[in-house]
Homo-oligomer: A and B are copies of this chain.
Amino acid sequence: MSIRLIDRYLDGFVSEKELSEMNGKALLALKTVLDGSGKGSDFLGWRALPDVPDKNEFARILSAAERIRKQCDVLVVIGIGGSYLGARAAIEYCQGLNRNALVKDGPQILFAGKDLSAATVCETLRLIEGKDVCLNVISKSGTTTEPAVAFRIFKEWMEEKYGDGAAERIYVTTDKARGKLKELSDTMGYETFVVPDDVGGRFSVLSPVGLLPIACAGIDVNEMLEGAREAKAKFSQATSVFENDCLKYAAIRNVLLGKGKSTEILASYEPALGSTAEWWKQLYGESEGKGKNGIFPASVTFTTDLHSLGQFIQDGTPRHFETVIDLLDPGYRIEVPYDEKNSDGLNFIALKQLHDVNRTAFAATAMAHTDGGVPNIVLEVSGRSAHDFGMLVYFFELACAVSGYILGVNPFDQPGVEAYKKNMFALLGKPGAEFDALRASLSEKMK
């Protein structure tokens, strides 16, 4: 099991000389990450998560997951951004998009509190009708609007159905000591798990934030952490961009950005990796998109999107490059059937494994797109085990931190997400002089 960066499709786009010139910066950035001497160093706790910093809590997570798997038909996970993207990515990566329809042991897992859509809430309420339900609410402060609103609604539902027994079915992942949600949990007797102080949301999938829902899905979180540990050991080595693929990925991205390639398209050939791409978008977009700089993260699922965005990627405004996850084993085997009449003319692929056809499409596309002037970074990943997912997570997290420092930004803050929140609170009438003043100025604008 491994991750390898294949640079065959970068010929003519990124030279050895350019990479060599980036090597010093990359090594310095890695050192800055490892010794915690850079901007945002209060948020480096993610580096240690694969080593299971709190064994007691980890044991509690495993035992809560076992209990939840017996207690309910449906686990509703309430969280937004980093509080759900990692768990959803892991579950779909390992168990596929049809998991909830096909699962035989263990609960369905639904995600709520990730938007303000009345449709999401009302449909989720219909989906859990007559079912036994547990909640896992994930929010550092407990006051983030989307999950807080969802929690009000689903808590009410639980209390109506279970009365005092609801408390035994509500699991809370929040601040270790402070905050409204921690207070409420202590009063009500909800079991709680800790969102670490030194781990930002987008780096939190290997913390209790991700571990509890992932374990509830029946995924071996020990194996996932082992994969992350393997990646940590391998990619933390201060060798060079030519020997450490994590540094290489970070370096290539910055070389390409320097050449005006300001959009990165993460591509895979498996629909089950779509949520992993969403997780990756938050990781890179929030970490690097600041100070009017950074690479816009987009994603596609091929071959599906070759029939929609393929034209643009091949021949549109050339400001993008692709990073392709080449999955060696998709976890399923099926042959293209032989058809005696050959009515579609496709017998030249009959009896081939479908996945081999899929990987041939990948090679064909990489060559076509590079011919069209689009650089392709390829990440070869073994398969869809928890171990593979853990490796991939740590690879991307470490590369992101390194890449952010190469770019010269603080990869661990997100100052730009406050602007809309302040406006929203002002418009919604949140009490406070700050909001009153802002509201007056916004109302003026909206006239």
In the complex, the answer to whether A119 meets B311 with C-beta atoms within 8 Å is: no
In the complex, the answer to whether B119 meets A152 with C-beta atoms within 8 Å is: no
- Binary contact readout A318-336 vs B (1 if CB under 8 angstroms, 0 otherwise): 1110000000001111101
In the complex, the answer to whether B311 meets A446 with C-beta atoms within 8 Å is: no
Contacts of A352 in B (CB 8 A): 428
In the complex, the answer to whether A368 meets B423 with C-beta atoms within 8 Å is: yes
Whether A122 sits at the interface, judged by CB under 8 Å, is yes
In the complex, the answer to whether B296 meets A118 with C-beta atoms within 8 Å is: no
Whether A288 sits at the interface, judged by CB under 8 Å, is yes
Q: Could you tell me the distance between the alpha carbons of A315 and B152 in the complex, rounded to whole angstroms?
A: 32
Which residues in window 68-100 of A have CB below 8 A to B? 80-82, 85, 96-98, 100
Which of A278, A303, A357 gathers the greatest number of chain B CB atoms within 10 Å? A303
Q: How far is the CB of A273 from chain B (nearest CB, A)?
A: 10
Contacts of A307 in B (CB 8 A): 80-82, 114, 146, 201, 282, 417
Q: Could you tell me the distance between the alpha carbons of A312 and B284 in the complex, rounded to whole angstroms?
A: 9
Known A-B contacts A180-B344, A344-B142; A297 and B272 likewise in contact (beta carbons under 8 Å) = no
In the complex, the answer to whether B152 meets A339 with C-beta atoms within 8 Å is: yes
In the complex, the answer to whether B96 meets A336 with C-beta atoms within 8 Å is: no
Contacts of A334 in B (CB 8 A): 118, 121-122, 153
Q: Pick out which of these stretches binds chain B: A20-28, A45-53, A359-367.
A: A359-367
Q: Could you tell me the distance between the alpha carbons of A422 and B306 in the complex, rounded to whole angstroms?
A: 13
Whether A427 sits at the interface, judged by CB under 8 Å, is yes
In the complex, the answer to whether B293 meets A317 with C-beta atoms within 8 Å is: yes
Q: Could you tell me the distance between the alpha carbons of A117 and B333 in the complex, rounded to whole angstroms?
A: 10
Known A-B contacts A102-B126, A420-B364; A119 and B282 likewise in contact (beta carbons under 8 Å) = no
Q: Could you tell me the distance between the alpha carbons of A183 and B343 in the complex, rounded to whole angstroms?
A: 8
Contacts of A202 in B (CB 8 A): 308
Q: Could you tell me the distance between the alpha carbons of A272 and B123 in the complex, rounded to whole angstroms?
A: 11
In the complex, the answer to whether A344 meets B296 with C-beta atoms within 8 Å is: no
- Binary contact readout A23-46 vs B (1 if CB under 8 angstroms, 0 otherwise): 000000000000000000000000
In the complex, the answer to whether B365 meets A423 with C-beta atoms within 8 Å is: yes
Contacts of A156 in B (CB 8 A): 337
Whether A375 sits at the interface, judged by CB under 8 Å, is no
In the complex, the answer to whether B367 meets A442 with C-beta atoms within 8 Å is: yes
Which residues in window 132-146 of A have CB below 8 A to B? 142-143, 145-146
Q: Could you tell me the distance between the alpha carbons of A122 and B430 in the complex, rounded to whole angstroms?
A: 51
Q: Could you tell me the distance between the alpha carbons of A302 and B80 in the complex, rounded to whole angstroms?
A: 11
The chain B residue sitting closest to A265, CB to CB, is: B296
Whether A285 sits at the interface, judged by CB under 8 Å, is yes
* A-B CB contact pairs (8 Å), 22 listed: A80-B303, A101-B101, A101-B127, A116-B357, A117-B354, A119-B271, A120-B271, A148-B344, A149-B346, A180-B344, A181-B343, A202-B308, A285-B311, A289-B309, A296-B320, A306-B417, A315-B415, A315-B416, A319-B319, A349-B428, A360-B428, A368-B419
**Which A residues contact B (CB, under 8 angstroms)?**
8, 80-82, 85, 96-98, 100-102, 114-124, 126-127, 142-143, 145-146, 148-149, 151-153, 156, 180-181, 183-184, 201-202, 262-263, 269-272, 278, 281-282, 285-286, 288-298, 301-304, 306-320, 330-334, 336-337, 339, 341, 343-346, 348-349, 352-355, 357-358, 360-361, 363-365, 367-369, 371-373, 414-417, 419-424, 426-431, 442, 445-446
